[in-house]
Amino acid sequence: MTIQIDRPKDGTLSVTTGPIQGSRKVYATPEGRPDIQVPFREIVLKGANEPPVRVYDPSGPYTDADTAIDLSKGLPLVREPWIASRRYDVTEARPVKPEDNGHVPADKLVAPCPAERVVRRAAPGQMVTQYEFARAGIITEEMIYVAHRENLCREAMWAGAEGKIADGESFGASIPPFITPEFVRQEVARGRAIIPANINHPELEPMAIGRNFLVKINANIGNSAVVSTAAEEVEKLVWAIRWGADTVMDLSTGRNIHNIRSWIMRNSPVPIGTVPIYQALEKVGGDPVKLDWEVFKDTLVEQAEQGVDYFTIHAGVRLPYVPLTANRVTGIVSRGGSIMARWCLAHHKESFLYERFDEICDIMRAYDVSFSLGDGLRPGSIADANDAAQFAELETLGELTKIAWSKGCQVMIEGPGHVPMHKIKVNIDKQLRECGEAPFYTLGPLTTDIAPGYDHITSGIGAAMIGWFGTAMLCYVTPKEHLGLPNRDDVKTGVITYKIAAHAADLAKGHPAAQVRDDALSRARFDFRWEDQFNLSLDPDTARAYHDETLPKDAHKVAHFCSMCGPKFCSMKITQDLRAEVAAMSPDAQDRLAGMRAKSQEFLESGGKLYVDQP
Amino acid sequence: MTIQIDRPKDGTLSVTTGPIQGSRKVYATPEGRPDIQVPFREIVLKGANEPPVRVYDPSGPYTDADTAIDLSKGLPLVREPWIASRRYDVTEARPVKPEDNGHVPADKLVAPCPAERVVRRAAPGQMVTQYEFARAGIITEEMIYVAHRENLCREAMWAGAEGKIADGESFGASIPPFITPEFVRQEVARGRAIIPANINHPELEPMAIGRNFLVKINANIGNSAVVSTAAEEVEKLVWAIRWGADTVMDLSTGRNIHNIRSWIMRNSPVPIGTVPIYQALEKVGGDPVKLDWEVFKDTLVEQAEQGVDYFTIHAGVRLPYVPLTANRVTGIVSRGGSIMARWCLAHHKESFLYERFDEICDIMRAYDVSFSLGDGLRPGSIADANDAAQFAELETLGELTKIAWSKGCQVMIEGPGHVPMHKIKVNIDKQLRECGEAPFYTLGPLTTDIAPGYDHITSGIGAAMIGWFGTAMLCYVTPKEHLGLPNRDDVKTGVITYKIAAHAADLAKGHPAAQVRDDALSRARFDFRWEDQFNLSLDPDTARAYHDETLPKDAHKVAHFCSMCGPKFCSMKITQDLRAEVAAMSPDAQDRLAGMRAKSQEFLESGGKLYVDQP
């Protein structure tokens, strides 16, 4: 999956910086820890006497008006002091080999990011993962950071609305009124949340993925077939997080991927995930049959040293499951899944990922790379949803989850795919059961196959639902899914669609802070505060542009009507008048109205002559 | 709500005609009724030895390559012989008054459609509505037509896949394997379905709205503030039904609406709905306080004679409910609701729509205009969802439903609005209970308030869910909702989004024919039959255009890979190879695989050393 970026005519390329329209970047510190600076975005309301609305902000320093960005230096080292204090071995980096960059000729080689970082690795037995710390009862700085980040404006909100409890149906999730660092520790220790945070990614602004936290979204990026510059690749990342992507997966293949990855890692404030089997396959010339443990292991070390925060590992695609896919309508649709299935069948051997899983754990643990256990057998069509192959693999992922935990690793589980609405809930229920509530991370699911070109929508429906039911992170789908490479607009559309799904899920789960923004926007709408309405929306630029299409003048941004109904027909205007009238009514008049209501109720309950029996 | 249409530079305007890419119009006749020609769209598969896929087609003769369209003559009179045989009074049409066209000056007057039609009206006591016929045990031609139309390719499908029952969770809907005319009659007689079909709309291709039929969608159109030509207005209708709108509401206000409506009615193959209070308000100069029963009654007759198939009547907005909205975040957001609330409070009187409901029924019955009982108090924000005002009105709508039935009228019920996911189901459950299973017709609902510019998506999520739960028709929302007037692209996006929601709902309900198209498309996808994949999609033009963006050549339309992964990484290609290999395996080898699977299962079930106890 790659994004196409149009190269500007003058040949220069820089990344998108500056605040989102109507917002400003703020940093806040948890009590007693002035050294921990947690970023938020504040939307300032212009037309009302209301406090700013504080929203979760994964966009990093790029949206900070006061930070200068220099890609060659990389981002500020937020985590460096915390990591340094844990005294890991600083090791010689694995030497870069020609195959790491796809044997690219010297004249086509993209230089690596010059930002210098030490490479660290935990000694055997030394605690390194957030899971290990959590299990040992230790609250890390990452946990403190995450707790403060997740709380948003909850304290302010609760102070202003005492006793107001968000309703919702959480399906067993239990989001507390306030997130404390100790709560984060407990969730990580139970394996119910992860904080993907490679010790070689000091630029990371820590975040949590778990059902008792805000629902997160992931965006996929990757290099183009044409030669990409480093800036182009970093821009894809910056663009995705600007609109709200919480993590980014780099699915690049081909040339220069090692060096380009160094630019991405050094300039990413969000966790970066990869699928190491893609690079391993490149190293053996693209033939799955030639893959082996040595080249895979070497790739894991290579990427872990660079700082990748989570790896998709398709260790659940086992030899005996391959025949289960033979009669599917769409077979195996996961790239990693099909590669491993090909390998298993060609060698007639059990998957080396499955057989060497212990060793994979040891490598990943040493850097705190989290597992994203891949669903290589996910359904690629409505017809194949919830079939034997899919669920056999999920059971194996449950088995592997427990091994990974016993090895001290953090784990999340990937999920489907194409699933009709009535088959969605069983997916998350089974996943929670089989995998001991390890975070679920799904692609959609798409609720029908018949809308290529609109699969952000077919999947947004499924994503909202499965997010509500307990999925912790939703992998976006763009309008180009099944058809081509997403461009900038597609990526933005995909991210915004998934922000909608995640937010709808937070609301339905009863997340205590979720509705604050809806309410602020609705008040702005009712008061005709157009600027506030735009700025509170997920995409202020588009909201404003759409309004401009019909009512372009600045005066219309304070107009007490809109283009849909015009001034005479405006229901909101009429209601505002009504509200004033009701408020001004005498107690007598109010009583009279109440009396009429009671009478009507009585009439209704009596049934009587109006009732028509049904045949 | 209006659509902006860009006027072509040369000043000419015509409507969009011609088949949808890759499809052809076919007509089929129910057994024994060669006089009844039911339209379908057939998607011909080019690359496979598969029968064409027959899909439901509300687009009328406009997509028939063999039909010449002449807007001034109107569409063929499909229903004329059936209606004529029922021997209604042919009456003098009510004379057109200057206020019907908003007192437009003579030089700005749009001429009415010259197509001549008689005006009919049932005599008192004469059976006229589909409900009355159904209750009397009479199967009308409209019912036969609808039954055949709903069956699609079910017979062919069932012949080819005996014993295969669609799974699904219907929440109490009971869609039979085949729809018979008698089944349609029963559903109409129970009030569980309606066939909106004014006897003055002989051009109508009858359709049903009910939870045991395919989920339908409605698109709203309306004139612009600038002068509209008749062709522009008809084009909005044609464009909406081309992409799948099953009914269209004309929400025009202002000048020329009577005459423009005549063009719409004479050229519409789908039921047309209106909100008569809008025109009534125009007639009294735009001041809700000046409305009265006489002007409203006159407007009902005016529009019923023109052939409007359903009226939104906000008779549930009662005086005692108005104060219940005073403390809402967004008050009353329905235009009709706020107009009536204003009237009630200003006069301090009960709504004349409520008090005169019997008389309204008598008028609507005489032409078989169906009720769409408006939800004037629907919530306009997440904060106001499912509140006392909304549910008080819904209870009143239940009361009115029973009155309308007792008067022989067809009824459906309008629903919200803005509702978070966890509060959606109670809406349909309560509606079914209060309103005796009369069809529910909802606007979305929008599942969050924070995404203006993307409200087709926020609402598409809610629409899919409430459709699954039993809503019979979904009113579309365009990307411009809350911001401005939808243009052509917005209307198409809204319609396609709602076709996705309706189809996802049909799949989840277990509709016996729904999955045929998904399966055909998925097979095409797996076989790299790109042309078939485009043509089977809801929007072939967009699917093809997106594919062209990355792989524009014709040769790529038969390529066995796509731009996402390229030829080396193609999971579908690998799976095709795998499938061949598994098929070629010896029975021994197959057994060995099966044995390994059993062993792994055994290991899993034994638990043992790998299991990690959870804290």
Residues A156-202: tens digit of each pLDDT: 555 544 444 568 999 999 999 889 999 999 999 999 999 999 999 99
pLDDT surpassing 80 at residue B166: no
What whole-number distance in Å separates Cα of residue B176 and Cα of residue A379? Answer: 28
pLDDT surpassing 80 at residue B564: no
0.90 surpassed by complex ipTM: yes
**Mean pLDDT on B117-122:** 97
Residues of A in contact with B518 (CB under 8 A): 381-383, 448-450
pLDDT digits (tens, 9 = 90+) for B247-269: 999 998 888 999 999 999 999 99
DSSP state of A325: G
DSSP state of B11: S
| Residue B244 touches chain A, beta carbons under 8 Å | no
CA distances from A4 to A83, A224, A278, A596 (A): 36, 7, 20, 64
Residue closest to A526 by CA, chosen among A481, A489, A453, A579: A579
Residues of A in contact with B399 (CB under 8 A): 604, 610
* For chain B, counts of helices (H) and of strands (E): 21, 15
What whole-number distance in Å separates Cα of residue B38 and Cα of residue B25? Answer: 10
Name the band, by pLDDT with cuts 50, 70 and 90, for residue B234: very high
| Cβ atoms of A205 and A58 closer than 8 Å | yes
The sign of the dihedral angle between the CA atoms of A443, A446, A452, A453 is: negative
Report the mean per-residue pLDDT for chain B: 89
Tell me if B571 and A546 make a contact (CB, 8 A cut-off): no
Tell me if B510 and A350 make a contact (CB, 8 A cut-off): no
User: Can you give the pLDDT at residue A16?
Assistant: 95
Tell me if B518 and A381 make a contact (CB, 8 A cut-off): yes
Distance from CA of B593 to the nearest CA of A (A): 5
For chain A, residues with pLDDT lower than 70 are 1-13, 153, 155-166, 224-228, 552, 554-570, 587, 589-615
CA distances from B276 to B148, B252, B265, B358 (A): 32, 10, 15, 17
**Mean pLDDT on B454-480:** 98
User: Can you give the pLDDT at residue B295?
Assistant: 98
CA distances from A421 to A171, A394, A466, B510, B565 (A): 17, 19, 9, 10, 28
Tell me if A483 and B547 make a contact (CB, 8 A cut-off): yes
List B residues 222-241 in contact with A (Cβ-Cβ < 8 A): 225
Query: In chain B, which residue's Cα lies nearest the Cα of A436?
Result: B614
Query: In chain A, which residue's Cα lies nearest the Cα of B598?
Result: A320
Distance from CA of B116 to the nearest CA of A (A): 33
């607009």: which residue's tokens?
Answer: A489
User: Can you give the pLDDT at residue A578?
Assistant: 76
| Cα angle value A339/A342/A346 (rounded, 5°) | 145
Tell me if A454 and B538 make a contact (CB, 8 A cut-off): yes
Are β-strands A247-250 and A272-274 bridged in parallel, bridged antiparallel, or unpaired? parallel
pLDDT digits (tens, 9 = 90+) for B34-53: 999 999 999 999 888 899 99
Query: In chain A, which residue's Cα lies nearest the Cα of B381?
Result: A522
What whole-number distance in Å separates Cα of residue A411 and Cα of residue A321? Answer: 22
Distance from CA of A126 to the nearest CA of B (A): 20
Residues of A in contact with B533 (CB under 8 A): 452, 482
Which of B4, B484, B571 faces A332 most closely, judged by CB atoms? B571
List B residues 586-615 in contact with A (Cβ-Cβ < 8 A): 589-590, 593-594, 596-597, 600, 604, 610-612, 614-615
Name the band, by pLDDT with cuts 50, 70 and 90, for residue B1: very low
Tell me if B464 and A461 make a contact (CB, 8 A cut-off): yes
Interface test with B, best of A226, A321, A418, A546 (most B CBs within 10 A): A546
**Mean pLDDT on B283-307:** 96
User: Can you give the pLDDT at residue B562?
Assistant: 60
């705190």: which residue's tokens?
Answer: A368
Distance from CA of A68 to the nearest CA of B (A): 30
User: Can you give the pLDDT at residue B228?
Assistant: 61
| Cβ atoms of A411 and A191 closer than 8 Å | yes
| Residue B406 touches chain A, beta carbons under 8 Å | yes
| Residue B399 touches chain A, beta carbons under 8 Å | yes
pLDDT surpassing 80 at residue B231: yes
Cα-atom radius of gyration of chain A, to the nearest Å? 26
User: Can you give the pLDDT at residue B606?
Assistant: 43
Distance from CA of B596 to the nearest CA of A (A): 6
Q: Residue-wise over A246-276: b if at least 16 C-beta within 10 A, else e?
A: bbbbbbbbbbbbbbbbbbbbbbbbbbbbbbb
Residue A269 amino acid letter: P
| Residue A325 touches chain B, beta carbons under 8 Å | yes
| Cβ atoms of A471 and A215 closer than 8 Å | yes
pLDDT digits (tens, 9 = 90+) for B530-552: 999 999 999 999 999 999 887 76
Tell me if A507 and B483 make a contact (CB, 8 A cut-off): no
pLDDT surpassing 80 at residue B567: no
